[in-house]
Amino acid sequence: MLFLASPSWGDAPETLIEPPPLIEPSPLADPSETIVPESPEPAADAAPAVVSPSARISGSIWRSKPGIVFLQTAIGPLSLSSKTTLRDIRSSQKITLWVHGTTSVIDIRERSNDKLVHRYVTSMPNFTSPEKTAVTLWTPEGEQSFTLGAFAAKIAGRQDDQPFTIEVDGAGTVRGLHEVQFDLQVNQIPRTPSPLHLLLNGTVSKLKSNYVFLKTPLGIVTVSGKTGVRNAKVGQEMSVWVQDRHVAIDLYQAGLSTPSRRFLSGPLTYDSDTHDTLTMQSPEGTQSIPLARRPASLATLKAGLPVTVELDQQGELVDIRRVN
């Protein structure tokens, strides 16, 4: 289970859920189908601050039972669990998880009319009054203030480093105090366009089979070798970035600010008709990769196919291979 807090690290937990049968993930909601109003676009001259961890992940409900919901997302399985809520989840509903630093938001909405059914906001206490009766928390619409009402005493009595989860309705009224957990696996690169976003930074804590266990501020996240990552070592710093259909995984050597290995995955795209330069998407934007030496594998790869491009510390091409 992953908490939005600073947990006590131990051995990486075994996978909470097994992935569903190997089928193409259900397409996510069309980007035009707005889940909640988006925050206003920043000014053109104001670069948005990079927040890690951060995420926006939607998924189709694979299976559910009282207190636990299993989702299949474009990057792998996601489960939500609680001892006090998640009792009435139906397949007609859509679920979106946001992560923004130490805050997470889980939205459950009806697909037919986008009506909010449940919203859970998990964060550290950020009281806005000496009486500790209100908190200001991040939401997908921006910072919001919530009056805690009957739950104020319970939240104020918790330790300062202990996160809490409140359920709020569409008007911002606090309706409940819960403990909601989630478990995420990054098993694959997205195969279809979606509003998916993920940014994680952490340390490799364990290697097992074809999985890298990454210790992050969210807890242990398992990253499959199907994402393109290779030859990670325990103790190595690692970052995972996913945007739409594109994935970038960086491995760092101690003391270096640039990755010793970068793995970029996404549709194979050439810069021009001459096919002398590849273009891949990365956290910094479009990255051009000159083909001074053309790998033999390129001869069998058609433009548009999902590939992983491996780069060295100088940004030069090491290998290119098709994503399985």
Q: In the numeric block, which tokens belong to residue 72? A: 């299949």
Per-residue pLDDT of the chain (324 residues), as tens digits, is 443 333 222 233 343 444 343 333 333 334 333 333 444 444 444 445 679 999 999 998 999 999 999 999 999 999 999 999 999 999 999 999 999 999 999 999 999 999 999 999 999 988 988 999 999 999 999 999 999 999 999 999 888 788 999 999 999 999 999 999 999 999 999 988 889 999 999 999 999 999 999 999 989 999 999 999 999 999 999 999 999 999 999 999 988 889 999 999 999 999 988 889 999 999 999 999 999 888 888 888 999 999 999 999 999 999 999 997
Q: In the numeric block, which tokens belong to residue 173? A: 């009224």
Neighbouring CB atoms inside 10 A of 46's CB total 8
Q: Is residue 311 a contact partner of residue 318, using CB atoms and an 8 Å limit?
A: yes
Distances from the Cα of 130 to the Cα of 68, 126, 134, 156, 176, angstroms:
36, 11, 9, 11, 22
Task: Give the predicted TM-score (pTM) of the model.
Answer: 0.82
The four Cα atoms 121, 124, 130, 131 give a dihedral, to 10 degrees, of 50
Decide: helix, strand or coil at residue 202. strand
What is the secondary structure of 85-138 as a DSSP string?
S--S--TTEEEEEEEETTEEEEEEEETTT--EEEEEEEE---BSSTT--EEEEE
Burial of residue 314 (CB within 10 Å: 0-12, 13-18, 19+) is exposed
> Residue 317 has what pLDDT?
93
> Residue 48 has what pLDDT?
56
Q: Is residue 276 a contact partner of residue 292, using CB atoms and an 8 Å limit?
A: no
DSSP single-letter state for residue 153 = H
> Residue 224 has what pLDDT?
96
Angstrom distance (rounded) from CA 51 to CA 58? 19
- Quote the radius of gyration of the chain (alpha carbons, Å): 21
